[in-house]
Chain A
């Protein structure tokens, strides 16, 4: 069977087979060259795109401190209990994830004695889109729970304890409206179904919602860090590739003085209101030399710590959506009121400046005055009449009749112009935003908005701070500051300095002069004297604001306002001290009170006495006498 046939015949065909095979191998080499060399970068990118994930690490917000370094807002550690879904026994189907997660949750609840629930939807979304991230089960748990957890963590596979920074306001509601609070950014929901970039795990920073937190958000929020992790095809993390630490936010130094703020808040809370009235009001304390806000307070108030995660939604909503009381409204800048008799200071200066009013102008007050053909007489707060009063007397007694008559002589244009010179009717430009313009009415304004002509009665009302006039407590504090410093309208500010985490000053707010009143210093001095008289005379309406050992100057105001609850009285006091070289200017307002003299002036006295460490003068005689 062993035959030896020559194989030479097949040589050429074998060569062809060899060529075909050689060509085939060359095709493979060329394709390899194309894929690995020419397209190498492309596939390298695809490799990274599918296996690398960037995680954003939120940064710790910067501290907010007062002018002396007292910490008003910082961060504390929150202990959160979380579940790592990727560690839960490799579930292969969606339903299994949800089931295993709920079993783990049940184990956690049983171990810790808690009753937390998670929706299947949340678990699934988290599993599908943010698997390498911990799923938070409980936020900010108590130390007892932490202790129990640490003791029994071995019984709870897949569960872990992590620490996250949480915003804290050590003094609770102190300066709550001014500081503001933080919340989740609007428009970024937890539900990332619509999230455009699948490979980007977005952990939103908390953003400032109100006050300094909002206005200085870009300085406070810092720079988020990042972490690049490698994930497997199931989405689970298999290791960290690179990590960039989050940068802490900057420190905001306020002009606020925590001591003065506390004095102001206590004074507001201690106010003697007529029975049944709710405490609603505001107080602002400025340094009249600089425009620095030393204290700003609003009532009712709230505790900004409740906006932290972990606080039940009902508690938060009870504050946020309390339409009747609006506890988060900063009434010092976010609400406007008729300034009442405090505005007489402006009317008086307008008259003196125009030469229409002189200190010797005398008017006999009989308790009421008929103007034009108006059927009802315009009344004075003192229905019995003040009798004959000169300018100082009228300011001391806060006589309406005197200001009706002289005000009409000054005229609406001059009064309105002077009001605008003081910055009324426009934002003060304060650096925490949201402050209202208020309103300075003019005949043209009335025609446009009310469709009625202006008449003398409007001018008379405007002269005593009624009519359509509206101002915020901050604006009126600034009016007081302008009188205090002799006629310079300053821009009030709250942020004194921004400091980097390492302590270097990034920016410092400079004093901003908005305007110098184009009024002779003598006339300003006359009004200042009149304000001093109103407080220091035993029969002055502002005498309750007097402080022993301190020359206080000021003006009370009681403005009537028609509200849904009927006609109520706004109680005002604006003033400054010491008279000779003022260091403090203030405004105090109560929305619904008895009168400026009885309600606001004593609060102002308590504030000033506290600031200058004096005791308020309790020597005033018949309380009933000093009404306005």
Chain B
């Protein structure tokens, strides 16, 4: 009886979204395999198997998130938010230190990044908050201030980990949500202007490696063996791919390890794809994301209520920011930030967060009003 109801709901899923997601997952496993491939007969790390496990878990969460009514999920928004803040505080106290930053909460070999939970929590919390504000108050400063406060707390907690990249993701999420919710453009412009004005102050707080990462994209040859190494090697990898690439498992930049093996399967997976499949492959990946985002916005437009609309917008904004920064980084358009590519990069927390987010959108679609 209940089962039948769920089947009915599943049939209402947006299959564009599902097919695009599955396609990206297949690409992900293939190229994580390639990124850790060392040559015939050579031992290789099993990242691609781990990714498949993550995808398996992710699919379960995805289906659950899609079936549960997003409105029920959002009723718990304060709880999710509180849990996220708790996790962020916990990670600062008890997190595992990796490369000088406390980003991981670990139990044995299993670890998650609370910042990924925080992204979702902020989307849900801000959407929930804006949804509950009477429309007329959305044009007031207090609404803007409240949203900034809601996002500011987790943002600050993530910055001190430090994980500048993840923290920055919260900014476009909030701006997109406020914009779509109807906040005055003038107010948003003031917020952005203040943010830019404060940037030099923030710059002074940065650690040296962060400054190096941020400046090196302006002149990658400044320190080609140090900070510029990843960017240079990624550019060479993508550029040498040409129109059609060097072929699957044939990327020398990747195979020989010029593209550092520690980052190739995750932050620089797009470099591997670009090298081995060329412009054709790279454009396909960008195209797939395009389908994902436009379907997401379509869902936002067709949502039953403003809450669903905001949820979908927030998720699309988050994923778009990740895609733009990550691909931009691999081709020297953007500073180097440790932002993974949604559904492609190796890494459990972000895979689960992304699939949860996509499940939420699917829920918005499934629970839309059908005329």
Beta-carbon contact of A47 and B253 below 8 Å: yes
Whole-angstrom distance between the Cβ of A322 and the nearest chain B Cβ: 51
Beta-carbon contact of B242 and A36 below 8 Å: yes
**Which of B113-163 touch A at CB < 8 Å?**
131, 135
With A25-B286, A44-B242 given, is the CB distance from A14 to B313 under 8 Å?
yes
Beta-carbon contact of B369 and A43 below 8 Å: no
Contacts of A1 in B (CB 8 A): 71, 75
Beta-carbon contact of A51 and B239 below 8 Å: no
A232 to B274, CA, bound (A): 20
Contact of B243 among A29, A37, A230, A234 (CB under 8 A): A37
Whole-angstrom distance between the Cβ of A94 and the nearest chain B Cβ: 15
Per-residue CB contact flags for chain A residues 509-546 toward chain B (1 = under 8 Å, else 0) read 00000000000000000000000000000000000000
Contacts of B313 in A (CB 8 A): 14, 17
Beta-carbon contact of B241 and A36 below 8 Å: yes
Q: Is A32 an interface residue (CB 8 A)?
A: yes
Beta-carbon contact of B256 and A44 below 8 Å: no
A363 to B181, CA, bound (A): 138
Beta-carbon contact of A40 and B241 below 8 Å: yes
Whole-angstrom distance between the Cβ of A241 and the nearest chain B Cβ: 10
Beta-carbon contact of A51 and B252 below 8 Å: yes
Closest partner residue, chain A, to B367 (CB atom): A2
Interface stretch of the complex, out of B46-54, B103-111, B303-311: B303-311
Closest partner residue, chain B, to A46 (CB atom): B236
Whole-angstrom distance between the Cβ of A73 and the nearest chain B Cβ: 44
Q: Is A50 an interface residue (CB 8 A)?
A: yes
Closest partner residue, chain B, to A9 (CB atom): B182
A398 to B309, CA, bound (A): 128
A3 to B132, CA, bound (A): 10
Contacts of A9 in B (CB 8 A): 135, 182
Contacts of B332 in A (CB 8 A): 35
Beta-carbon contact of A37 and B279 below 8 Å: yes
Interface stretch of the complex, out of B8-16, B192-200, B320-328: B320-328
A614 to B305, CA, bound (A): 126
Q: Is A18 an interface residue (CB 8 A)?
A: yes
Per-residue CB contact flags for chain B residues 235-247 toward chain A (1 = under 8 Å, else 0) read 1111111110000
**Which of B314-371 touch A at CB < 8 Å?**
316-317, 320, 323-324, 327-328, 331-333, 369
Contact of B278 among A5, A27, A36, A234 (CB under 8 A): A36
Contact of A7 among B256, B274, B306, B331 (CB under 8 A): B306
Beta-carbon contact of B328 and A28 below 8 Å: yes
**Which of B266-301 touch A at CB < 8 Å?**
274, 278-279, 282-283, 286, 289-290, 293-294, 297, 300-301
Per-residue CB contact flags for chain B residues 209-238 toward chain A (1 = under 8 Å, else 0) read 000000000000000000000000001111
A468 to B186, CA, bound (A): 109
Beta-carbon contact of B297 and A4 below 8 Å: no
Contacts of A28 in B (CB 8 A): 286, 323-324, 327-328, 333
* Residues of B in contact with A, size category: 35 or more
Contact of B305 among A4, A18, A47 (CB under 8 A): A4
With A32-B283, A32-B286, A46-B236 given, is the CB distance from A3 to B305 under 8 Å?
yes
Beta-carbon contact of A24 and B324 below 8 Å: yes
**Which of A258-297 touch B at CB < 8 Å?**
none
Contact of B180 among A13, A22, A230 (CB under 8 A): A13
Closest partner residue, chain A, to B261 (CB atom): A233
Q: Is A114 an interface residue (CB 8 A)?
A: no
With A7-B303, A37-B242 given, is the CB distance from A25 to B71 under 8 Å?
no
A28 to B331, CA, bound (A): 9
Contact of A14 among B253, B300, B305, B324 (CB under 8 A): B300
Tell me the count of chain A residues lying within 8 A, CB to CB, of chain B.
43
Beta-carbon contact of B289 and A233 below 8 Å: no
**Which of A35-62 touch B at CB < 8 Å?**
35-37, 39-44, 46-47, 50-51
A13 to B297, CA, bound (A): 11
Whole-angstrom distance between the Cβ of A103 and the nearest chain B Cβ: 26
A328 to B320, CA, bound (A): 80
Contacts of A39 in B (CB 8 A): 239
With A25-B286, A36-B279 given, is the CB distance from A44 to B239 under 8 Å?
yes
A41 to B182, CA, bound (A): 48
Beta-carbon contact of A47 and B252 below 8 Å: yes
Closest partner residue, chain B, to A3 (CB atom): B305
Whole-angstrom distance between the Cβ of B341 and the nearest chain A Cβ: 12
A28 to B313, CA, bound (A): 21
Contacts of A186 in B (CB 8 A): none
Beta-carbon contact of B182 and A233 below 8 Å: no
Contact of A232 among B257, B297, B305 (CB under 8 A): B257
A21 to B175, CA, bound (A): 13
Contacts of A51 in B (CB 8 A): 252-253, 256, 258
Beta-carbon contact of A230 and B252 below 8 Å: yes
Whole-angstrom distance between the Cβ of A220 and the nearest chain B Cβ: 39
Beta-carbon contact of B317 and A33 below 8 Å: no
Per-residue CB contact flags for chain A residues 227-240 toward chain B (1 = under 8 Å, else 0) read 00011111000100
Contact of B258 among A2, A3, A4, A50 (CB under 8 A): A50
Contacts of B306 in A (CB 8 A): 5, 7, 10
A39 to B220, CA, bound (A): 15
Q: Is B176 an interface residue (CB 8 A)?
A: yes
Beta-carbon contact of A17 and B286 below 8 Å: no
Beta-carbon contact of A36 and B239 below 8 Å: yes
Beta-carbon contact of B333 and A4 below 8 Å: no
With A3-B305, A21-B320, A233-B258 given, is the CB distance from A35 to B297 under 8 Å?
no
A24 to B333, CA, bound (A): 12
Per-residue CB contact flags for chain A residues 200-229 toward chain B (1 = under 8 Å, else 0) read 000000000000000000000000000000
Closest partner residue, chain B, to A42 (CB atom): B239
Beta-carbon contact of A47 and B331 below 8 Å: no
A627 to B243, CA, bound (A): 93
A-B contact pairs, 5 of them (CB 8 A): A4-B369, A10-B300, A36-B238, A46-B236, A232-B257
Which residues of A come within 8 Å of B, CB atoms? 1-5, 7, 9-11, 13-14, 16-18, 21-22, 24-25, 27-29, 31-33, 35-37, 39-44, 46-47, 50-51, 230-234, 238
Q: Closest 8 CB pairs between A and B? A: A43-B239, A47-B240, A40-B242, A36-B279, A44-B240, A232-B256, A43-B240, A18-B297
Contacts A7-B304, A40-B241 aside, 14 further interface pairs with beta carbons under 8 A come to A7-B309, A13-B180, A25-B324, A29-B286, A32-B279, A35-B332, A36-B238, A36-B241, A37-B279, A40-B243, A44-B242, A46-B236, A51-B253, A51-B256
